[in-house]
Amino acid sequence: MIWVTDAKAIPDYRLWVRFSDDTGGEIDLKDFIASDSRPIVVALRDQTAFASIRVEMDTVVWTNGFDLAPEFLYARAKARAAA
């Protein structure tokens, strides 16, 4: 199983993430944030709210309680690296 070991928010709804297998990369979440209509995600359209992340347990968590599965983040990072 892969988990997040480090992360930071970068401009334009992107994250830089390092994983337990020591790979790391940039993840673009702009399309995800823009298209998800759940209120907890809509709140992250505010750049300040989006930037308020921390690594908790095994993934990225925002201060409003939203999180994404580490497998989802890993797949996004791998897809970007392959592009």
Q: Which residue has the tokens 């497998």?
A: 71
Query: Domain segments of the chain: what residues?
Result: 4-82
Banded pLDDT at 79 (limits 50, 70, 90):
confident
* pLDDT tens digits, one per residue of 17-70: 999 999 999 999 999 999 999 999 999 999 999 999 999 999 999 999 999 999
**Homologous superfamily (CATH) for 4-82:** NE0471-like N-terminal domain (3.30.2020.10)
Q: How far is it, in rounded angstroms, from Cα 64 to Cα 72?
A: 19
Model confidence, pTM: 0.90
Q: How far apart are CA 43 and CA 47, in angstroms?
A: 9
